[in-house]
Structure 1
Amino acid sequence: MKIKLIILSVFVFALFYAPKLSAQSDPEAKKIVNKVLQKVEAYNNVIISFRYTLENTTENVKQETRGDVTIEDDKYVLNLMGTQRIFDGEYIYTIIPEDEEVIISPYNKDDNNEITPSSMLTFFKDGYDYKMDIIQNNKGRKIQFVKLIPTDQEKEVKEILLGIDQQTYHIHNLIQIQDNGTKTEIKVNSFKFNQPLSEILFQFNEKKYSNYYINRIK
């Protein structure tokens, strides 16, 4: 289970971390990225199902899993590898049924190492140069790729390819390439927005886990 938790943490951190620096970009690429941001920021909420793949051909490693995330403002519910993570705006609750354990930790907005999945659709707003890349045809839809190059050269991330559906300006997929050759990809299977959500969706009900070990991290 520790391996699953590590992958979950990598998913949450590695793909959503963006250094907060200014960037000089290709005007056409920046225009496309801005359209994506404008659409996403106008939604009340989004629900995304996705496929997550991690691959390193040198180490002969390939892992693939599916998940889903519901996002409203900064709050989210992430389901991945049989583990659920809830963020209610103040605390992060990691629910691990396999171990019958719940890890509760406070969220510190001033700590750059604690980036939430709510950054998934906007993490590229700052800290990258934007460059136009290839166009691919995916089942009749044109996917325009924009290369995101970190402006902080000390980061392990070499580049990120952001695949954008030219018809909807929704994110189709994200491909991240690290200096060590590791490639991770999030491919969106479905994208819904402005859905009716339960008022208690982002609330953690401790009574439901009375037989679980509650690990509170201060």
Structure 2
Amino acid sequence: MIKKTLTILMLSAISFSAIAQSSQKAKALLDEVYSKVNSYDNIQIDFKYALENTEANTKSETQGNVSLQGDRYLVDLFGAKQLFDGSKVYTIVPDNEEVTIESPSEGENTVTPSKMLTFYKEGHTYDWDILQNVQGRKIQFVKLTPIDTNTEIKSILLGIDAETKHIYKLIETGKNSTKTTITVNSFKTNQPLSKSLFTFDEAKYKNDGYYIIRN
């Protein structure tokens, strides 16, 4: 009986150690990614955005792009643009000729293209996951599980290029069976950007007949 108990304890200790090592490896890789991202003056990404819900039998795909510099960003997705100038978020919808101006949302949990490079820094536990070969590139996946049990996100798989330490793919699975996948098509850094890229010109949109909504 004593031997059996000792064996169980030893196996539990080995299992716990393996889990801890997996978490440490995953965190170390994500720290490398974060350091790499912060070393660039700016980043421009073209990506594919896919949304799928198996229960509702729905699936949609579209292309988008995002430019990031520090906290500022400009996202072009679903025929609309979203700009953050460091203070306010501007959502520009040409089809409706509307611009919505609001403060950034503190409670938003969903991973958006604008924060896919840094969201993982806090609020998650990490696990080392599978290694895939994608057209000759080694993509190491890390599984992230939100610490907040009230979030709508069940888990996130983050695929990282093992050589460049750039994020290649993000797969977010929701508790409502919705899966969001962002796949990076091109990742460019330190590009010559217009000085006005992250500046909202309200007068221009008013002159073009846009309705300005302030929340």
TM over 0.5: yes
Q: How does 1:69-108 map to 2 (within 5 A)?
A: 69-107=66-104
Between the aligned partners of 2:72 and 2:122, the Cα distance in structure 1 is 21
Aligned partners of 2:90 and 2:150: how far apart in 1?
31
* 3-state SS in 2 of match to 1:39: helix
Structure 1, gaps ≥5 residues long: 1-23
Report the Cα distance in structure 1 between the residues aligned to 2:115 and 2:174, rounded to whole angstroms. 19
What letter corresponds to residue 112 of structure 1 in structure 2?
G
Contact 2:75 2:114 in 1 (8 A): no
Q: Cα offset for 1:118?
A: 4.2
Alpha-carbon offset, residue 135 of structure 1 = 0.7
Structure 1 vs Structure 2: percent identity of aligned residues? Answer: 50
Cross-structure match for 2:196: 200
- Kept in 2, the 8 Å contact 1:76–1:117? The answer is no
CA displacement, residues 76-111 of structure 1 (integer Å, 9 cap, x when unaligned): 111001111111112221111111122222346xx3
Cα distance in structure 1, aligned partners of 2:109 and 2:168: 25
Distance 1:114 1:164 in 2: 21
Distance of 2:173 and 2:63 partners within structure 1? 20
**Deviation for aligned residue 1:154:** 2.2
Residue 187 of structure 1 and its aligned partner are, at CA, apart by: 0.3
**d(CA) in 2 for partners of 1:184 and 1:118?**
14
The correspondence of residues 2-21 of structure 1 with structure 2, limited to 5 A, is none
Question: RMSD value over aligned CA atoms?
Answer: 1.8
* Residues 107, 114 of structure 1: 8 Å contact kept: no
**1:117 Cα deviation from its structure 2 partner:** 5.1
Check 1:190–1:161 CA distance in 2 against 1; reply closer, same or farther (3 A cut): same
- Structure with higher Rg: it is 2
Give the aligned length: 193
Contact 2:73–2:114 (CA under 8 A) maintained in structure 1: yes
Q: Which residue of 2 aligns with 1:65?
A: 62
Alignment of 1:43-192 (within 5 A): 43-107=40-104, 111-113=106-108, 118-192=114-188
The answer on whether the counterparts of 2:171 and 2:181 sit within 8 Å (CA) in structure 1 is yes
Stretch of structure 1 that moved more, 48-57 or 97-106: 97-106
Pairwise CA distance, 1:26 = 1.1
In structure 2, stretches of 5+ residues that fail to align are 1-19
Paired with 1:122 and 1:197, the residues of 2 have a C-alpha distance of 21
Change (3 A) 1:118 1:82: closer
Between the aligned partners of 2:170 and 2:127, the Cα distance in structure 1 is 15
Shift of 1:114: 8.7
